[in-house]
Chains A and B, each alone.
Chain A
Amino acid sequence: MTTQVQETSVTTQTVVDAPIDHAFRVFTDGIGSWWDPGHHILEAELAEMVFEPRVGGHIIDRGTDGSECRWARVLAYDPPSRVCFSWDINLRWQLETDPAKTSEIEVTFTEDGPQRTRVVLTHSHLDRHGEGWEAMRDAVGSGWTLDRFAEVAARGTRDG
């Protein structure tokens, strides 16, 4: 897995030992099977995640108390090759309702042999999250980010 950083976007890619249809399905429908369950902005614990398989749908986090958080809008849904969704969370880890202040994630799936799929994820327009980048000060001050940093650091910084 390699990562390259551009001015206001981040690209990460990986190769999965699975056919393209399967990889796409796991990423979307099966998002709950791989998403870090500690990564949500619900008050309650995360019970399940739903990826609505259509443009205009959402990625929805459901809490154990029945609460819901629609933190992403599905912007493109082209199985098995591409999916795009928005990141409607601001740097204070609250839901962002102004689309002009949200960033976007594009994920492409490419066959790399019958049993291998290359998955490239680009998170772009990161600059939309900040009045300048000052808001990051608050973001890095929030527990979620730092806990993640700590967890990652504790595990070492292997790049898989």
Chain B
Amino acid sequence: MTNHGAVLTALADPTRRAIFERLASSPSAVGDLARQLPVSRPAVSQHLKVLKSAGLVTDHADGTRRIYSVDSAGVGAIRDYFEQFWQQSLARFKAAASQPTREDT
């Protein structure tokens, strides 16, 4: 179950976004990610923790390594996306369509 606010916060950080994008193309271990990005191993671990608690990333053991991948379980992600998309869009629509009420002046 993804938490909406947590998802947004997790992806607001450019490094976490970069990590998430890497994981979207291929599941990786912490070390793989640290090699690919200008970030230390502990920093990668910290970012993964945030992504995981937001429900965006999941992990499993592979021998002694822990492999992280994007959690695609459920409809949550796409619904979250469109929910946010249409909320933003309708807010813009409301602003464009609303007319000043003359009685208020």
Contacts and interface: CB of A to CB of B under 8 A. Distances in A.
Interface in A16-35: 16-18, 22-23, 26-27, 30, 33-35
B78 A30 contact: no
B101 interface: yes
A92 B94 CA distance: 29
Interface stretch (B18-26, B33-41, B42-50): B18-26
B53 interface: no
Contact of A26 (B12, B86, B96): B96
Contact of A119 (B77, B82, B83, B93): B93
B24 A14 contact: no
Contact of A146 (B11, B87, B99, B100): B11
Interface residues of B, number: 43
Contact of A133 (B12, B14, B77): B77
A125 to B, nearest CB: 11
A39 B4 CA distance: 21
Contact of A137 (B70, B86, B92): B70
Contacts of A129: 78
B7 to A, nearest CB: 7
A22 B99 contact: yes
A7 B75 CA distance: 8
B97 interface: yes
Contacts of A16: 93-94, 97-98
Interface of A: 1, 3, 5, 7-8, 10, 12-18, 22-23, 26-27, 30, 33-36, 39, 91, 115, 117, 119, 121, 123, 126-127, 129-130, 132-134, 136-141, 145-146, 148-150, 152-154, 157, 159-160
Per CB-CB distance, the 9 closest pairs between chain A and chain B, nearest first, are A141-B24, A153-B12, A34-B96, A26-B97, A153-B8, A17-B98, A160-B91, A12-B86, A149-B11
Interface of B: 4-5, 7-9, 11-12, 14, 17, 20-21, 24-25, 56, 70, 72-75, 77-79, 81-101
